[in-house]
Chains A and B, each alone.
Chain A
Amino acid sequence: MKKIIILTLSFLLICFLFMQFFRPKIVNSPASADFQAPPNVKAIMIRACYDCHSNATSLRWYDQIVPVYWQVAADIKHGRESLNFSDWQKMAPADQKSKLWEIVYQISAGAMPLGSYTEVHQNAKITRDELSTLKAYVNSMAAVALPDDTAKINAADRQYSQWRKEQFLIKQVPIAPNGVRYMPDYKNWQAISTSARFDNGTMRVIFGNNIAAAAVRTHHIQPWPDGTVFAKVAWDEVEDKDGNVKTGAFKQVEFMIKDKEKYAATEGWGYARFKTPKMIPYGKNALFTTECINCHRPQKNEDFVFTQPIKH
C-alpha cells in the first residue's frame, strides 16, 4: 500500500517536472509608446495592471511554475491583446480618452485586475482612494460642451434637413461583419430608458422590441428571452447657454439580439453597430464583438445588459 502511494507520488512529481518544459514564451519588448499620465495615476496602473497589460511583465517565482504559468501566460496574451499600455500612444487621442473611462469602469465593477490575479498578488488590489484618484483624473477629461457651439448646431441642422428630404434612404440592408443585419424599425420600438454620457458628450435612447417590452411588463428579464432586441441610438449633445441640451447630429445605432444558440460564442447576444445616417457597419471583421463583450461582461449577472428598464 505504502509502495503504491510512493510510486504514484513519484509519478506525479515526474509529470510535474516534465510539464515545466512546456512554456509558452512571454516576451518583454521595449515600450515605445508607453502610457502617459500624472505620476500618481501611472503608478497605480504599473502596480496593478502592467503585468498583463504591457510589454513590461514582471513575474514572481510562483507565477513561473507550470501549470500556474500556463494560466498566467494565457492572461497576459489576452490582456495585451485587449489593452496594452506600452502601445498607449498609438491610439488616437479620442480612443485614449474613452479607454480611460472604460478602465475606471472595469475597476469599479470589480472586473479588473482579474480576481484570480489579486488572490495571489494581494498588493495589486485597487483601494478606494486609488479609485477616487482615477475617477478625478478621468473627470478632468470629461467632454466639456461649448454653449451654442455653431459647428455642432450647423451639423445638426444640415443632417436634419437631409433627413426630412429623405436623403438617407438605404437601398441595401447593411450587414455587420458578424452577420447581424440592420433593423430600420428600431425607432418604432418602445423606449426602455435614456442616458446622458458625460464621458463623451453624447445622449442616448435605448429601445426594446416587442419581445423586450413584453419581458419588461411580465418581469422576465433575468435572463432576457430569446428574440429580445435592443437598439441604442446616440446623438451629439447641443447645449445652449442656459444648460438646455438637445439631440444634435445622429452618431450611430447599436443592436443587441438575444439568441442563446445562434450567438453562443458571444455569450448569447449578437452585437452590431451602424455608424452615421448611412448606417455603415462597424468592425473590420467578426472579432469586433470582443470589444463589445469585454465592456458588457461585468454585467454578467444582469445578462450582460446595462440598462435598467423603466416601466411606462
Chain B
Amino acid sequence: MRNIIYILFGGIFILSSCQSGSKNIELFNEQAKLPETFKFDTLGLKVMSSYINKKSGTMSTLYANPFALSNALDGDKSHRAGEVLALVTWKQQADGNYFGADVPGDLQSVEIIKSAIAAKNVLVSYKKYTGKNLDSAPDTLQQEKRITYIFNQRPSVMP
C-alpha cells in the first residue's frame, strides 16, 4: 500500500514538475556586431531601408541621417551638403531560434557616404570598411557605382 502511495505521489510530482527546453544560445548576436571602436551609434543615423541578396546570401540595412532621409523622401536626386548614409552588410545565417527565418551572421562591410561643401561644390565622399574589424578598404573601382546605387534607394514605408 505504501508503495502504491509513493508511486502515485511520485507520479503526480513528475507530472507537475515543469519542463523547459534546454537550449544554449548566446544572448547577443556576437557574429554580427560592429566593433565598439567604430562608434557607429554616434553617427546619429536612422533606419532607411533593408535588403536581402539571395545570390550572395547577404542582408543589408541602409541607415541615413534625418537630412538625407527627408531628401530621399522628397525624391530629390541633386545632393545637398550634410547628408550621411551608411550601408551595413552581413552574411546571412539561419536563425537558431526559429526555423523559418534568416538573420544577420558575419559582418561583411560598412559603406559610408557623406556629402559636404568644398569650394562651393557639393563633394560626395565614399568610404568602405570590410571584415569583422571593419578595416578600411580603398575601393576606387566601384565607388561611382556604389554612390549611385546608395543614393538611388528609396526609404521603406514606415507610416
Partner-B contacts on A (CB < 8 A) = 9, 12-13, 16, 62, 65, 67-68, 71, 101, 104-105, 108-111, 114-116, 119-120, 135, 138, 142, 156, 159-160, 163-164, 168, 170, 186-188, 190-191, 193-200, 203, 205, 207, 213, 216, 219, 221-222, 233, 235, 237, 239, 242-247, 249-250, 277, 279, 298-302, 306-312
A195 near B101 (CB under 8 angstroms)?
yes
> Which segment, of B22-30, B111-119, B121-129, B140-148, faces chain A?
B22-30
* Residue in contact with B28 in the complex, picked from A168, A213, A311, CB distance below 8 Å: A311
A193 to B1 Cα, complex, angstroms: 59
A65 and chain B: residue at smallest CB distance = B8
Q: A120-B15, A196-B52, A302-B25 are in contact. Are A188 and B46 (CB under 8 A)?
A: yes
A160 to B157 Cα, complex, angstroms: 6
Q: A221-B27, A245-B54, A300-B20 are in contact. Are A163 and B32 (CB under 8 A)?
A: no
A121 CB to closest chain B CB (Å) equals 11
A221 to B49 Cα, complex, angstroms: 26
B1 near A13 (CB under 8 angstroms)?
yes
B154 near A308 (CB under 8 angstroms)?
no
A233 near B158 (CB under 8 angstroms)?
yes
Contacts of A245 in B (CB 8 A): 51-54
Of A108, A109, A302, A311, which is in contact with the most chain B CB atoms at under 10 Å from its CB? Answer: A311
Q: A187-B46, A196-B103, A247-B51 are in contact. List 4 more A-B contacts (CB 8 A).
A: A105-B100, A138-B99, A168-B159, A310-B29
A135 near B25 (CB under 8 angstroms)?
no
B21 near A277 (CB under 8 angstroms)?
no
B76 CB to closest chain A CB (Å) equals 12
A284 to B153 Cα, complex, angstroms: 38
Chain B residues bordering chain A, tally (CB within 8 A): 56
B50 near A205 (CB under 8 angstroms)?
yes
Asked if B78 is at the interface of the complex by the 8 Å CB criterion, the answer is no
A243 near B61 (CB under 8 angstroms)?
no
CB-contacts of B64-78 with A (<8 A): 73, 75
Asked if B11 is at the interface of the complex by the 8 Å CB criterion, the answer is yes
B102 near A249 (CB under 8 angstroms)?
no
A194 near B103 (CB under 8 angstroms)?
yes
A276 and chain B: residue at smallest CB distance = B159
A266 to B97 Cα, complex, angstroms: 21
B29 near A196 (CB under 8 angstroms)?
no
B100 near A101 (CB under 8 angstroms)?
yes
B109 CB to closest chain A CB (Å) equals 14
Q: A101-B99, A105-B100, A299-B97 are in contact. Are A114 and B20 (CB under 8 A)?
A: no
B92 and chain A: residue at smallest CB distance = A196
A145 to B157 Cα, complex, angstroms: 20
